[in-house]
Amino acid sequence: MEKQDFLDSFPFQLLCIPNEDIVRMHATSGTSGHRPTCGFYSQKDLDDWSYLCARNLGAIGMTKKDVFQNTTSSGLFTGGFGYAQGCTVLGAMLIPFGPGLTSRQLEFFKIFKVTAFHAIPSFGLRIAQVMEEEDIKKDDLYLKFAILGAEGWAESTRKTIEERLGVKAYDNWGMTEAYGPGPSVECQEQNGLHIWSDYFFPEVIDPKTGDFLSYGETGELVITSLYKEAAPIFRYRTGDITTLYTSECPCGRTGFIMDRIKGRQDDMKIIRGVNIYPSLIEEEIFNLSKFFTDIYLITYHTVGVMDTITVKVETRPRIDKNSAKKKLQRNLREATMLGINVIVSDPGTLPRQEGKAIRYQDLRDRKDKFNG
């Protein structure tokens, strides 16, 4: 199965139970196609999903003694409800705060002695930024754990969030077609994501040929749900690029482990013959976090007949733009073997985004539209 099957059978044709047995639906915003991708749940699906999210929270070390602030909205998207339910199954106190209002979120962190939160990684960085602006120290807070996901994030983002917020930050991967969050999470080893292998059977394929790859090889993640009732998925092409292993983890959990998602199949661009994932460029920007803020925009465009990449970044206050630019350009060339244009602007000048951040655009089929 693939995404197109969901879009073609929109909204109800993939259902395997009578409509009256559906107790919930969620949906994506529908940005990647014209139609949203819907998730439908029987009562058992909801119970299983809640339990999987509770497992995720347990795997990162949370117990019922924790106070958990959910910074994603308990609305149409799966992330908010998923962890609200998971937290309730675990028995920890839930604060369903929802997105945005970063200063107010931080006040809640203090007043209610919040020990754990769920967010998208870019909001984790936003919290760090507001702490800096408002001179809030990590020791003013009680945080221990962050569970982050729904978009790709680099190891350097983890370091930034962990250092500035005083937490351990854990990755978790999911998608609406597979309940939402819940299928996988990092344990306290922070060395790959455990896929709950009693609920999902994962495989990795070559995205071009569809051939199955061996464990340890990188390709597109394909998953089969083993218990979903309302809309099961069978050998579903996730579009996400990762590497799968069967090795056992020191934490004692067995089953499948995968690397953090490298990017989406459709994010990967071939620029002058080189495979480029935005995460590769991000990593280099974040490695120079002394010079640059966390906000950036990657543009793929065409100059004459050549595919070209331009990266817009902004410097931190009192940084010499020229030498910062040279450093980044050199590091990007080493990492990608491509010459990449870097445009450096003043602090605070690139647009801030709430929600899943849009960090790259492909204008290669719109040759006239990009002028730096």
Q: Which is nearer to ligand ADP, 6 or 300 (CB)?
A: 6
Encoded one letter per residue, x for contact with Zn ion by CB under 5 A and - for no contact, window 176-215 reads: -----------x-x--------------------------
> Per CB under 6 A, which region of 47-55, 133-141, 145-153, 155-163 contacts ligand ADP?
145-153
- Asked if residue 279 binds ligand ADP (CB under 6 A), the reply is no
The reply to whether 59 sits near ligand ADP by the rule CB under 6 A is: no
Pick between residue 114 and residue 233 the one whose CB is nearest to ligand ADP: 233
Q: Are 169 and 148 in contact (CB under 8 A)?
A: yes
Query: Which residue's CB is nearer to ligand ADP, number 58 or number 355?
Result: 355
Q: Is 147 a binder of ligand ADP (CB under 6 A)?
A: no
| Residue in 7, 27, 76, 249 binding Zn ion, rule: CB under 5 A | 249
- Provide, rounded to whole angstroms, the least separation between the CB of residue 154 and Zn ion: 21
* 238 touches ligand ADP by CB under 6 A: yes
Instruction: Using the structure block, give the residue that is written with the tokens 């099957």.
Output: 5
Residue 78: contacted member of ligand ADP, Zn ion, none (CB under 5 to 8 Å, by partner type): ligand ADP
207 binds ligand ADP (CB under 6 A): no
CA pair distance 72, 88, nearest whole angstrom? 16
Report if residue 203 touches ligand ADP, rule: CB under 6 A: no
Position 40 contacts ligand ADP (CB under 6 A): no
Q: Is 174 in the site for ligand ADP (CB under 6 A)?
A: yes
Distance linking the first and last C-alpha atoms of the chain: 40
Which listed option, ligand ADP, Zn ion, none, makes contact with residue 241 (CB within 5 to 8 Å by class)? none
Q: Contact, 125 vs 161, CB < 8 A?
A: yes
Upstream peptide bond of 351 is cis (omega within 30 degrees of 0): no
Residue numbers 239-258 binding ligand ADP by CB under 6 A? 239-240
One-letter identity of residue 337: M
Total binding residues toward ligand ADP, as defined by CB under 6 A: 21
Among residues 189 and 266, whose Cβ is nearest to Zn ion?
189
How many residues form the binding site for Zn ion (CB under 5 A)? 5
Applying CB under 6 A, among 83, 173, 200, 296 the residue interacting with ligand ADP is 173
| Interacting residue with ligand ADP among 87, 94, 106, 175 (CB under 6 A) | 175
CB-nearer residue toward Zn ion: 189 or 206: 189
**Complex with ligand ADP: residue 48 or 171, whichever CB lies closer:** 171
Residue 16 makes contact with Zn ion by CB under 5 A: no
Distance of alpha carbon 123 from alpha carbon 128, whole angstroms: 9
Query: Which residues here bind ligand ADP, judged by CB under 6 A?
Result: 28, 77-79, 149-152, 171-176, 180-181, 238-240, 261, 264
